[in-house]
């Protein structure tokens, strides 16, 4: 064991590797029941899960996901206890706390085989995914709803004027209404200019 050696203000803080602890496990009310052992266990399992994802990137023959595509880790309890310097009872307590917070689930493989451990997403991760999915859905939806204004044609303008004129002048309601409409149509050609596009 080396003697105590403090960092100097000229040093660079550079450890070889870190275990990441999600900040929300320390701050969110939903995770207040988690003990330091449970938080560290989650971080160790997350670190191991990263190795499972790396197996996919390498196109390795050994893959750590089930037939539904759910990622998992295989970690013997004895190994976890040794890594975390925990006795079995303290490790079991940490595992149970993580299960209560929906952060892990275990599946038995069979006699003398280690359990498969599924790591659950944290609340922040789930909420961020919902926001991203919502934004993506909005982008797709807005891309499909482009409206184009059709060009107006002379016949459309003429027909819409005639229909409007017919409806307003009760065509067919009186005996001479059709002749009156015909005469008015040729007497007043201002409508051709009034309805330009």
Looking at the structure, tell me whether residues 41 and 102 fall in a common domain. Answer: yes
More confidently predicted of 144 and 153: 144
Does pLDDT of 94 surpass 60? yes
pLDDT at 17: 86
pLDDT at 1: 86
Looking at the structure, tell me whether residues 109 and 53 fall in a common domain. Answer: yes
Q: Is residue 9 part of a domain?
A: no
Looking at the structure, tell me whether residues 182 and 93 fall in a common domain. Answer: no
Q: Is residue 2 part of a domain?
A: no
Q: What residue numbers bound the domain in which 46 lies?
A: 24-123
Give the pLDDT mean for 47-66.
Answer: 85
Q: Is residue 19 part of a domain?
A: no
pLDDT at 58: 81
Q: Is residue 190 part of a domain?
A: yes
Among the three residues 103, 123, 143, which one is the final residue of a domain in this structure? 123
More confidently predicted of 58 and 68: 68
Looking at the structure, tell me whether residues 29 and 89 fall in a common domain. Answer: yes
Among the three residues 78, 104, 123, which one is the final residue of a domain in this structure? 123
What is the rounded average pLDDT for all residues in the chain? 79
Distance CA(170)–CA(137), nearest Å, equals 50
Q: pTM above the 0.85 mark?
A: no
More confidently predicted of 190 and 4: 4
Q: Is residue 12 part of a domain?
A: no
Looking at the structure, tell me whether residues 86 and 172 fall in a common domain. Answer: no
Looking at the structure, tell me whether residues 100 and 187 fall in a common domain. Answer: no
Does pLDDT of 128 surpass 90? yes
pLDDT interval class at 99 (50, 70, 90): very high
Looking at the structure, tell me whether residues 188 and 119 fall in a common domain. Answer: no
Please list, residue by residue across 104-122, b when 16 or more beta carbons sit within 10 angstroms of its beta carbon and e when fewer do: beeeeeeeeebbbbbbeeb
pLDDT tens-digit series, residues 149-188: 555 444 444 444 444 444 444 444 444 444 444 444 445 5
Q: Which of these, 84, 76, 77, lies nearest to 35 by C-alpha position?
A: 84
The pLDDT > 70 percentage for the chain reads: 72
Does pLDDT of 30 surpass 80? yes
Looking at the structure, tell me whether residues 41 and 119 fall in a common domain. Answer: yes
Looking at the structure, tell me whether residues 108 and 171 fall in a common domain. Answer: no
| CATH number, domain containing residue 53 | 1.10.10.10
Q: Is residue 181 part of a domain?
A: yes
C-alpha torsion 21→83→100→25, nearest 10: -10
Give the pLDDT mean for 134-151.
Answer: 69
């Amino acid at each position: 064991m080396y003697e105590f050696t403090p960092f100097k203000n000229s040093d660079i803080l550079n450890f070889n590797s870190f275990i990441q602890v999600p900040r929300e496990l320390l701050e969110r009310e939903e995770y207040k029941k988690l003990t330091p052992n449970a938080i560290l266990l989650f971080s160790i399992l997350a670190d191991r899960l990263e190795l499972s994802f790396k197996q996919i990137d390498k196109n390795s023959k050994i893959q750590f996901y089930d037939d539904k595509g759910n990622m998992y880790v295989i970690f013997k309890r004895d190994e976890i206890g040794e890594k975390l310097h925990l006795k079995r009872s303290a490790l079991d307590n940490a595992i149970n706390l993580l299960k209560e917070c929906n952060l892990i689930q275990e599946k038995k493989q069979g006699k003398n085989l280690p359990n498969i451990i599924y790591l659950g997403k944290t609340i922040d991760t789930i909420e961020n995914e919902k926001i991203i999915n919502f934004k993506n859905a909005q982008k797709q939806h807005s891309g499909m709803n482009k409206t184009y204004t059709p060009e107006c044609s002379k016949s459309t303008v003429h027909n819409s004027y005639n229909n409007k004129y017919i409806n307003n002048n009760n065509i067919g309601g009186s005996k001479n209404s059709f002749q009156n409409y015909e005469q008015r149509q040729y007497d007043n050609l201002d409508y051709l200019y009034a309805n330009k596009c």
